[in-house]
Structure 1
Amino acid sequence: MLLLTTYFTLWFLILAASTLLFWVRRRPAPAPLPQPWPRVSILIAARNEEAAIGRCLRAIRALSYPPELVEVLLGDDASTDQTRAVAEAVMPGYTGNFRCITITEPLGLARGKANVLAHLARAATTEFFFITDADIAVPTGWVQGLLPFAQPEVGTVTGLTVVEGPRLFDRLQGLDWLQSLGLVQVVSDFGRPVTAMGNNMLVTRAAYEATGGYEQLPFSVTEDYALFQAVLKQGFTFRNVFRPEVLAASLPISTPGRLLHQRRRWMQGVEALPWWLQGGLLFYAGFYPLLLVLAWVAGPLAAVSVLAAKMLLQGLLAAACYHRAGRRMPWHLLPAFELYTIALTISLSVFRLLPLAFDWKGRVYK
Structure 2
Amino acid sequence: MLPRRYRRRRQGARPHRPRVSILVAARNEEATIERCLRSLAQQRYPSGRLEILIADDHSTDATAAVIEAFIQDKPHFRLLRVREQLGRAKDKSNALAYLCRAATTDYFLFTDADMALSPDWVSTMVAAVEPGVGVVTGVTTSEGSLFGRLQGLDWLFGLNVIRILAERGLPSSAVGNNMLLTRAACESIGCLEDMQFNVSEDLQIFQEVVARGWGYRHLCEPQALGVSEAQPTVQALLKQRKRWMKSAGGLPWYLSGLFGMYGVFYAVLFWPGFLPLSVVAAIYLGKIGLQTVFLALTLRQTGRRINLGVLLLYEFYLCAMSLAVLAYTVWPGRLEWKERRYVLAEA
TM-score relative to the length of structure 2 = 0.94
1:68 — aligned with what?
48
CA shift digits 1:24-53 (9 cap, x unpaired): x24024134986621100000000000000
CA gap of 1:335–1:300, structure 2 versus 1, over 3 A, is farther
In structure 1, which of residues 151, 159, 175 is the aligned counterpart of residue 138 of structure 2?
159
Structure 2 gaps, min length 5: none
Q: Does 1:217 align with 2:195?
A: yes
2:285 — aligned with what?
308
1:181 — aligned with what?
159
1:125-204 residue pairs with structure 2 within 5 A? 125-165=104-144, 167-204=145-182
1:1-366 residue pairs with structure 2 within 5 A? 22=1, 25-32=2-9, 37-94=17-74, 96-165=75-144, 167-293=145-271, 296-366=273-343
How far apart, in 2, do the equivalents of 1:29 and 1:236 lie?
16
CA shift digits 1:265-288 (9 cap, x unpaired): 112332111223322222222110
Farther-moved stretch of structure 1 (156-165 vs 325-334): 325-334
Tell me the secondary structure at the aligned position of residue 278 of structure 1: helix
Letter in 1 for 2:43: L
Shift of 1:303: 2.3
How far apart, in 2, do the equivalents of 1:279 and 1:331 lie?
29
Shift of 1:299: 4.2
CA shift digits 1:102-153 (9 cap, x unpaired): 1132111111110000000000000000000000001100011110122231
1:5 — aligned with what?
none
How far apart, in 2, do the equivalents of 1:44 and 1:176 lie?
24
Tell me, yes or no, if the aligned pair for 2:23 and 2:53 is still in contact at 8 Å: yes
How far apart, in 2, do the equivalents of 1:98 and 1:176 lie?
32
Tell me, yes or no, if the aligned pair for 1:40 and 1:69 is still in contact at 8 Å: yes
Structure 1 gaps, min length 5: 1-21
Letter in 2 for 1:159: G
CA shift digits 1:81-109 (9 cap, x unpaired): 11011112122332x52111111321111
Tell me the secondary structure at the aligned position of residue 348 of structure 1: helix
CA shift digits 1:282-337 (9 cap, x unpaired): 222211001112x5234444323322221111000001100111112431113421
CA gap of 1:225–1:308, structure 2 versus 1, over 3 A, is same
CA shift digits 1:319-361 (9 cap, x unpaired): 1100111112431113421221111111111112123222112
How far apart, in 1, do the equivalents of 2:130 and 2:146 lie?
40
Farther-moved stretch of structure 1 (242-251 vs 349-358): 349-358
Farther-moved stretch of structure 1 (27-36 vs 343-352): 27-36
Q: Which has the higher helix share?
A: 1
Letter in 2 for 1:163: S
Tell me, yes or no, if the aligned pair for 1:200 and 1:248 is still in contact at 8 Å: yes
User: Matched residues, percent identical?
Assistant: 40
Tell me, yes or no, if the aligned pair for 1:34 and 1:148 is still in contact at 8 Å: no
How far apart, in 1, do the equivalents of 2:3 and 2:149 lie?
28
Letter in 1 for 2:288: M
Tell me, yes or no, if the aligned pair for 2:6 and 2:128 is still in contact at 8 Å: no
Shift of 1:363: 1.1
Q: C-alpha root-mean-square deviation of aligned residues, in Å?
A: 1.6
Tell me the secondary structure at the aligned position of residue 216 of structure 1: coil
Shift of 1:236: 0.6
TM-score relative to the length of structure 1 = 0.89
CA gap of 1:205–1:267, structure 2 versus 1, over 3 A, is same
How far apart, in 2, do the equivalents of 1:108 and 1:34 lie?
41
How far apart, in 1, do the equivalents of 2:164 and 2:15 lie?
32
Q: How many residue pairs were aligned?
A: 340
Letter in 2 for 1:92: Q
